Structure 1
Amino acid sequence: MRVAIVAPSPVPFIIGGAENLWWGMLRELNRRAGVVAELIKLPSPERNLIELIGSYRTFARLDLSHFDLVISTKYPAWMVRHPNHMVYLQHKLRGLYDTCPAHLARPPDAAAVARLRLPPGLEAALLAGHGGENLDAAEVAETLLAALTRADAPPELLHFPGTFARAVVHLLDRIGMQPGHIRRYAAISRTVRERASHFPAGCQVEVCHHPTGLEGLAPAALPDDAGIFTASRLVGGKRIDLLIDAYQRSGATLPLRIAGAGPEEQALRARAACHDGIQFLGRLTDAELARAYARAAFVPFVPYQEDYGLITLEAMLCGRPVLTVSDSGGPTELIEDGVNGVIAAPDAQSLGAAIARLAADPAGVAAMGRRARERAAAIHWQAFGDWLLSGAAPAAAAACAPAPCAAHVARPAKPRIVVVNTFPVEPVVSGGKLRLFGLYRHLAQAFEVRFVNLADTAMPRHARPLAPGVVEEVVPVTPRLREQARDLEQKLGVSAGDLAAAMHPDSVPQWLEALREQLRTAELSVCAHPYGFPALQAAGVPRPHLYEAHNVEYDLKAGMYGRHAWAAQLVRHFERQCAEQACGVTACSELDAERLRELYQLDGTPVAVLANGIEIAETPFVAVAERHARGHRLGKERPLALFMGSAHGPNLEAALLVLVAAARSPGLDFAIMGSVCGMIDADARPGNVAMLGVVDAAEKSLWLGLADYGLNPVRAGSGTNLKLAEYTASGLLVLSTAFGARGSGLTAWEDFVPIEADDLAGALCAAHALDAGRHGALVASARAKVAASGDWRKIGERYAAFASGFLRT
């Protein structure tokens, strides 16, 4: 994956918290396999309105289409247009937003604006303070620059800050950050997320506190010359004046050391001149800053509505509690008053009293410092990088919806359904994940969906929105369960994390805790696979449950486990419990439904068939002629056959058949995509086979729009093949075994070319011999059938009707 972190470079240049974040992101992304990241910074002067509009224009013109993912955090970088653009907002131009003076927070003078002779739509959007999102940002900037630099331009419109400047920036931000331009919205803190006009109305906004790039932060014994330490830019918003006044009232004997520089420095020195305990240290290097934290007994940090405040995190990482005030914003999100720090009222008397209490209680301060360290240790680069990339696949893009609110005990407006699984939905890159995302995204029209899923991640337990009405709570696998899974895998010779989770749900207490919390307000629960059922039982909050079977799990694992029949019988035991105690069961095909009834005597249990599907509206259909044109542009000289598969036994068997066919088909090129590539011996690969591995959704879409044939030589397994729906919806000519096409509704020689007797090479010859009309007819027929019956929206509607039948009336 190619990632661009795009950012403004301040003029004149300074290094601040934003730069530290970008450098840290760059380091973290580039240390990951399969990821290459670049930090792209453009000079962005903003000393006057003309410069600011010019900076917006620069980013609006920037073409980063050669990257797979673009991440911006600060104005005006989010003006870049890219189909996979994430905004991780630090702040907007605050002087024109949340700290804007009241007399400027009004529309600009209409008569003065009229003298600019702007296009009517642009003028109306500026005066109204809303709308205009359909305008082109680069053209808006060009038009404004031309109008404002004419000799007759009203000079009052150039005031910066000013009412017109505010209207211009708000309009440009509305255009740049509108849904459709940005795929994923996030903020560095709840404080930022909750600011007015910082995000489009109704959009889901994630919050993730980022780590610090400062090194050398670790707990240390308090030295003899310990004092009170703070660090910040010496500007009004940091309220160092309040801290000086409070310290002078406190009577504390510990010295107050203030690091930093800025325009308020002389005034602050004069304010502190009568107290020899206050020391100004100037700007410190990173190493000096780390040592200064270590010399601190505690760290006061009292800004007004700070975006986040890395000083808080850095002090806590050193085991030093932070003293802040109730209106400081970001710092209050990390500090729990009296537990790992102190939150005082924002006045000199209250703050001074808090300083006095902390200075007089070294034992209490040390205890808070230890808890502060524990809290801060969860915020680290590996977890942050996991989160950054967790929604990197455009297939998982969520439309705008109300931001998640604080939990309420009352029942939600829609009935809540809790889904438990042993792997996360994001990133949405494989069959099971695609099914979970597609199916429950549309079930959310009738239900409030809450996933509670395990993940093998270093990131702490967290919740993230997947789509409107769908939230996934991710619980990290514990070292204990990881070890139990490893022991099981050594015995079986194949991955067994799911079976280990079914055998040892108590090994992940947070999983059970999260289930209890969600089930209390739920009407129904769902086991997506049977392996979460023991955890559902152990949670101890009984709710009717559905078994949403992706496969007949016993049959699937019996084939995988081979001679280890005992393990397959364990799977059968868990699946039997899950199915027999379910109020309803869903299967991916009629064959699977019949097999489940036969295995588990489900004659009295309602069973619905919900085949695998695809998002038809979001899947571009590429006709044969366009495929040829794309291939010519990209230098493709021969027909290309594509096979997609996850690391799964039946997919490995199919991939090996692809290698055999490739060796017999030297005139064709082949590409194998997905985690199945990791199971294939590289030496066994013929020269005309490319191993793509796991790719993101953008690259996957590219290959689906370039290949000529979609291969599905699957001979075993359970469930149905999502790859078949993806091939047909995209316009590939499908070659499939009869087994691979089961449950799809597709017919050989009407919708696909059949693979008979494992002769994939022969089927490819037959496909290549088809004339253009016959080729196009097969593709069109398959696409029409999938659109009619395999669209996730329609499948989700059927699922909602089925699940609703089990609600209490």
Structure 2
Amino acid sequence: MHLCQVAPYVTYPPRMGGDHRTHGLVKEFPVEGDTVVRYCQGGSPAMYKSLDLRRRVQITDGYEERRHLHPLHEVIKAPMLLGYPNLLASHALRLASDGLDEMLADADVVLAREPWQTPYILDHTTEETPVVFSSHNVETERFGDIHQPLFDEHVEARVDTLERRSVEESDAIICTSDRDARVYREQYDPGGPIIVAPNGTYESALREHRPNSDGAIQVRERYDIPSTATVCLFMGSNYKPNVEAAEATVDVARRMQGAQPQVHFLIMGSVGNALDESSLPEHVTTTGYVEANFEAHFDAADIALNPMLSGGGTNIKLIDYFARSLPVISTPFGVRGIAVEEDRHLCVAEIDDFPNAIKRLRDDPVRRENIGENARKLAADQYTWEAASRKVRDRIYELFGPF
């Protein structure tokens, strides 16, 4: 099979949750002998920062990313900085597509990430070429709470139009959970079968927690974290629901100021860039985007936090915590769409009760270890990108093969 995947911006190497899903869902196709070529409509901030202006990236044998770095594609993303969806992506492709039509014509199957580019893809593929809509969130939910001047109703209506067409006119849909599949069936009239492929982690990330590793010790020393402090980790990119969760983490930290034994809060990733550093308590550290010693930051933590209050889809960060055997405290919203048992795989608490939940875990190391181990086993059994990719590939062959 020759698969053409279409993404709204550069994906590889994956840095944010959406990038990991885009890459993870096709990761095993080349392993099984298929070919994957990904069209990326414009670059990413990380790519430009690193001055990586390559137009083609060979990821592995049979797996290539092609990047259309056109100024138009960068301009239309500007509203996303204000929290708006990428509503103009399909229109921009009609003006600048740089070989996408040829890629669509050569494909046995087209996989479209999110609804923003899907209208163009549906209009430029033949009836013989299946189009699979790959959903990362129920976008009408994700953007349903936009409160920007003048554009509320217009944005919501446009998101609904794009998502409706993507769900109803595609030949199959991939979504992150049974819950999202149910919402699509209730809200729209799906044009094809729905494949549930949950968010996950990479098999290579599954491991035991190593709090006494050299890397963990170095991380604590780097951020001047006392060796006796209990470290609570929150990880995220600079994305509105993550910023909201990071601000909630800081509020929890303020309520625990002066707690003994000491609790230190480590906010990892670009989400920290959205916080006012001058107003943070001394026992809160932001790291910015982490590339070096990434795994050591997990080892330096004792507890992982998932204080999510909004957003769509399922939380990839939750599975990343599980993979590293970290015990997690999550809001009920943060565990949506993931088959967990409370007090076995994680602790669930409303955000107001996070301080008490942290204290209970801090004071019970045996419970922390048991929850972390159970969570890692759950991730290994049900939530890896490799397993999701194989499932998607098998279903595409069942539905549309042979190729």
Task: Establish whether TM, by shorter chain, passes 0.5.
Answer: yes
Q: Secondary structure at the match of 1:471?
A: strand
Contact 1:643/1:712, CA 8 A, preserved across alignment: yes
Q: Match for residue 420 of structure 1?
A: 6
Q: Match for residue 379 of structure 2?
A: 786
CA distances 1:680-723 after superposition (whole Å, capped 9, x unpaired): 23333222111111122x43212012111111011221111111
Q: Secondary structure at the match of 2:106?
A: coil
**One-letter identity of the residue aligned with 1:579:** V
Q: Does 1:494 align with 2:89?
A: no
Q: How does 1:564-643 map to 2 (within 5 A)?
A: 564-602=152-190, 605-623=192-210, 626=212, 630-631=216-217, 635=221, 636-637=226-227, 638-643=229-234
Of 456, 466, 474 in structure 1, the residue corresponding to residue 59 of structure 2 is: 466
Aligned residue pairs total 383
Contact 2:7/2:113, CA 8 A, preserved across alignment: yes
Q: Name the Cα RMSD after superposition.
A: 2.4
Return the alpha-carbon distance in structure 2 between the equivalents of residues 551 and 686 of structure 1.
Answer: 34
Of 545, 554, 568 in structure 1, the residue corresponding to residue 140 of structure 2 is: 554
Return the alpha-carbon distance in structure 1 between the equivalents of residues 396 and 372 of structure 2.
Answer: 34
CA distances 1:263-298 after superposition (whole Å, capped 9, x unpaired): xxxxxxxxxxxxxxxxxxxxxxxxxxxxxxxxxxxx
**One-letter identity of the residue aligned with 1:535:** Y
1:611 positional shift:
0.5
CA distances 1:629-684 after superposition (whole Å, capped 9, x unpaired): 94389544211111111222211111111000111223211111222223223333
* Closer, same or farther: CA 441–483 of 1 in aligned 2, 3 Å: closer
Contact 1:459/1:476, CA 8 A, preserved across alignment: no
**One-letter identity of the residue aligned with 1:574:** L
Q: How does 1:198-277 map to 2 (within 5 A)?
A: none
* Closer, same or farther: CA 565–676 of 1 in aligned 2, 3 Å: farther
Return the alpha-carbon distance in structure 2 between the equivalents of residues 756 and 509 of structure 1.
Answer: 46
**One-letter identity of the residue aligned with 1:693:** G
Q: Secondary structure at the match of 1:690?
A: strand
Return the alpha-carbon distance in structure 2 between the equivalents of residues 633 and 516 of structure 1.
Answer: 48
1:807 positional shift:
2.3
Return the alpha-carbon distance in structure 2 between the equivalents of residues 717 and 469 of structure 1.
Answer: 34
* Closer, same or farther: CA 468–629 of 1 in aligned 2, 3 Å: closer
TM-score of the pair, normalised by structure 2: 0.87
Return the alpha-carbon distance in structure 1 between the equivalents of residues 160 and 324 of structure 2.
Answer: 37
**One-letter identity of the residue aligned with 2:160:** R
Q: Match for residue 453 of structure 1?
A: 40
Contact 2:208/2:373, CA 8 A, preserved across alignment: no
Contact 2:141/2:312, CA 8 A, preserved across alignment: yes
Q: Match for residue 30 of structure 1?
A: none
Contact 1:505/1:538, CA 8 A, preserved across alignment: no
Q: Match for residue 710 of structure 1?
A: 304
CA distances 1:436-493 after superposition (whole Å, capped 9, x unpaired): 2222112333431111012235876722122343211111132x3444444x469xx4
Contact 2:206/2:380, CA 8 A, preserved across alignment: no
CA distances 1:66-115 after superposition (whole Å, capped 9, x unpaired): xxxxxxxxxxxxxxxxxxxxxxxxxxxxxxxxxxxxxxxxxxxxxxxxxx
Q: Match for residue 395 of structure 2?
A: 802
* Closer, same or farther: CA 654–776 of 1 in aligned 2, 3 Å: same
**One-letter identity of the residue aligned with 1:471:** E
Unaligned runs of 5+ in 1: 1-414
Q: Match for residue 181 of structure 1?
A: none
Q: Match for residue 353 of structure 2?
A: 759
Of 531, 542, 545 in structure 1, the residue corresponding to residue 131 of structure 2 is: 545
Q: Match for residue 314 of structure 1?
A: none
Return the alpha-carbon distance in structure 1 between the equivalents of residues 218 and 59 of structure 2.
Answer: 37
1:590 positional shift:
1.2
Q: Secondary structure at the match of 1:509?
A: coil
Q: Secondary structure at the match of 1:657?
A: helix
Q: Secondary structure at the match of 1:451?
A: strand
Q: Match for residue 528 of structure 1?
A: 113
**One-letter identity of the residue aligned with 1:469:** G
Contact 1:677/1:692, CA 8 A, preserved across alignment: yes
Contact 1:439/1:792, CA 8 A, preserved across alignment: yes
* Closer, same or farther: CA 645–578 of 1 in aligned 2, 3 Å: same
Return the alpha-carbon distance in structure 2 between the equivalents of residues 489 and 713 of structure 1.
Answer: 23
Return the alpha-carbon distance in structure 2 between the equivalents of residues 561 and 678 of structure 1.
Answer: 22
Q: Does 1:434 align with 2:29?
A: no
Contact 1:529/1:548, CA 8 A, preserved across alignment: yes
Q: Secondary structure at the match of 1:761?
A: helix
Unaligned runs of 5+ in 2: none
* Closer, same or farther: CA 524–504 of 1 in aligned 2, 3 Å: same
Contact 1:450/1:471, CA 8 A, preserved across alignment: yes
* Closer, same or farther: CA 425–738 of 1 in aligned 2, 3 Å: same
Return the alpha-carbon distance in structure 2 between the equivalents of residues 441 and 704 of structure 1.
Answer: 24
* Closer, same or farther: CA 553–632 of 1 in aligned 2, 3 Å: closer
Q: Does 1:669 align with 2:256?
A: no
1:521 positional shift:
2.2
Q: How does 1:641-790 map to 2 (within 5 A)?
A: 641-666=232-257, 667-696=262-291, 698-770=292-364, 772-790=365-383
**One-letter identity of the residue aligned with 1:432:** G
Contact 2:310/2:333, CA 8 A, preserved across alignment: yes
Return the alpha-carbon distance in structure 1 between the equivalents of residues 235 and 123 of structure 2.
Answer: 37
> Identity percentage over the alignment?
24
Contact 1:584/1:607, CA 8 A, preserved across alignment: yes
* Closer, same or farther: CA 678–688 of 1 in aligned 2, 3 Å: same
CA distances 1:182-229 after superposition (whole Å, capped 9, x unpaired): xxxxxxxxxxxxxxxxxxxxxxxxxxxxxxxxxxxxxxxxxxxxxxxx
Q: Match for residue 205 of structure 1?
A: none
Q: Secondary structure at the match of 2:333?
A: coil
Instruction: Tell which deviates more after alignment, 455-464 or 715-724.
Output: 455-464
* Closer, same or farther: CA 452–552 of 1 in aligned 2, 3 Å: same
TM-score of the pair, normalised by structure 1: 0.45
Q: Secondary structure at the match of 1:551?
A: coil
CA distances 1:527-561 after superposition (whole Å, capped 9, x unpaired): 11111213324545552111110101121122245
* Closer, same or farther: CA 554–503 of 1 in aligned 2, 3 Å: farther
Return the alpha-carbon distance in structure 1 between the equivalents of residues 8 and 80 of structure 2.
Answer: 16
Return the alpha-carbon distance in structure 2 between the equivalents of residues 500 and 726 of structure 1.
Answer: 32
Return the alpha-carbon distance in structure 2 between the equivalents of residues 622 and 695 of structure 1.
Answer: 19
Return the alpha-carbon distance in structure 2 between the equivalents of residues 505 and 633 of structure 1.
Answer: 44
Return the alpha-carbon distance in structure 2 between the equivalents of residues 505 and 561 of structure 1.
Answer: 28
Which structure: larger Rg?
A: 1
1:495 positional shift:
5.0
* Closer, same or farther: CA 482–773 of 1 in aligned 2, 3 Å: closer
Contact 2:207/2:376, CA 8 A, preserved across alignment: no
Return the alpha-carbon distance in structure 2 between the equivalents of residues 434 and 424 of structure 1.
Answer: 12
Contact 2:361/2:367, CA 8 A, preserved across alignment: no
Q: Secondary structure at the match of 1:661?
A: helix
Contact 1:756/1:763, CA 8 A, preserved across alignment: no
**One-letter identity of the residue aligned with 1:419:** Q
Contact 2:206/2:376, CA 8 A, preserved across alignment: no
Contact 2:104/2:125, CA 8 A, preserved across alignment: no
Contact 2:263/2:283, CA 8 A, preserved across alignment: yes
1:757 positional shift:
4.8
Contact 1:502/1:574, CA 8 A, preserved across alignment: no
